[in-house]
Amino acid sequence: MQKHEFGNIKGLLTDMDGVWFVEDRALPGAIDTLARLRARSIPIRFVTNTTTTTRAQMARKMLEMGFDVEESEFVTTPTAAASLMRQAGIERVKLVISPSIRNEFPGLTNNQPYQAIVIGDIGRAWNYDLMSELFRIVMDGAEIVALHKGRYWQVADGLALDIGAFVAGLEYATGKTAAVVGKPSPAMFYAAMTELGMEADDVVMIGDDIYNDIAGAQAAGLRGVLVKSGKYRESAVARSGVTPDLVIESIADLALF
């Protein structure tokens, strides 16, 4: 797909870390690119699998780096997961998440017997005892709800293992399939498009993850633009079996189409 075919963009979905910044550092040209999007009145939603911070904290972080953003522009997995579980009648939940986002799950209790376990990012807190405890809860009948199933992500000194490995381990041991809320689940992209009030043909997803961002977006009917910043690795893309609609060097190249 050639660049000129993207001239009909009316709305933009995008990942955050690895696209606009890495950790606490804005990527070259990223701040100016967002300013150009604002000047063209193109609405944007930051669709993120980050599960350690609230929407307000995400907005504050990007504001401190110099980005012009608003809290309402962030679509997160915790709020989506809480809503889906309430709709399904699930109230008793074992939360395996960062303490910083516990308030994002109103109406759920820690009472046993658990109806579900909710898995998010907990950093180095993963260990055998915790995995064994979760295994027993699931074997007793609880469902597995994964805020996302990411394989790895980019940190300052390279790639780091993500929670997908632990989710997959529980699936293998219990024989149960996790309900994945975050990318690449189509539900996450549909939720973001609903917020924009647009159809898939009008929206493009931009990300650095060939699976979560690009394959996920394409499964939801969106075009997927892969950036070569963040976690991008040519070898991973080559063996993924996924063909992005467009590959650009960085988010700064958005100015070219």
- Whole-number Å distance between alpha carbons of 61 and 202: 29
Whether omega for the bond prior to residue 184 falls within 30 degrees of 0, making it cis, is yes
pLDDT of residue 83: 77
Mean pLDDT for the chain overall: 91
Distance of alpha carbon 192 from alpha carbon 105, whole angstroms? 19
Same CATH fold, 78-180 and 3-44+186-256? yes
111 pLDDT band, cuts 50/70/90, is very high
| Kind of pairing between the strands at 93-96 and 74-76 | unpaired
What residue type is assigned to position 125 of the chain? A
> What is the reported pLDDT for 53?
86
- Cβ(115)–Cβ(212) below 8 Å: no
As its CATH architecture, domain 78-180 has: 3-Layer(aba) Sandwich (3.40)
Structure tokens at 218: 């394409």
Compute φ and ψ for 39, nearest 5 degrees.
-65, -30
The whole-model pTM stands at 0.76
What is the average per-residue pLDDT within 106-120?
94
Give me the mean pLDDT over the 74-83 stretch. Answer: 85
Query: What type of residue is 240?
Result: S
In 3D, which of 10, 5, 80 has the Cα closest to residue 49? 80
- Ordered by start, the domain boundaries in the chain are 3-44+186-256, 78-180
For residue 55, the surrounding DSSP H or E stretch is helix 55-65
Verify cis geometry, omega within 30 degrees of 0, for the bond prior to 113. Answer: yes
Q: What whole-number distance in Å separates Cα of residue 248 and Cα of residue 156?
A: 21
**Of the options 3.40.640.10, 3.40.50.2300, 3.40.50.1000, 3.30.230.10, the CATH number for the domain spanning 3-44+186-256:** 3.40.50.1000
Residue 123 Cα distances to 5, 126, 128, 256, angstroms: 41, 7, 14, 38
In this prediction, residue 2 carries a pLDDT of 39
The predicted model gives 41-55 an average pLDDT of 90
| Distance in angstroms between the alpha carbons of the first and the last residue of the chain | 12
d(CA 133, CA 136): 5
Q: Name every residue whose Cβ is closer than 8 Å to that of residue 5 and which is 6 or more positions away in sequence.
A: none
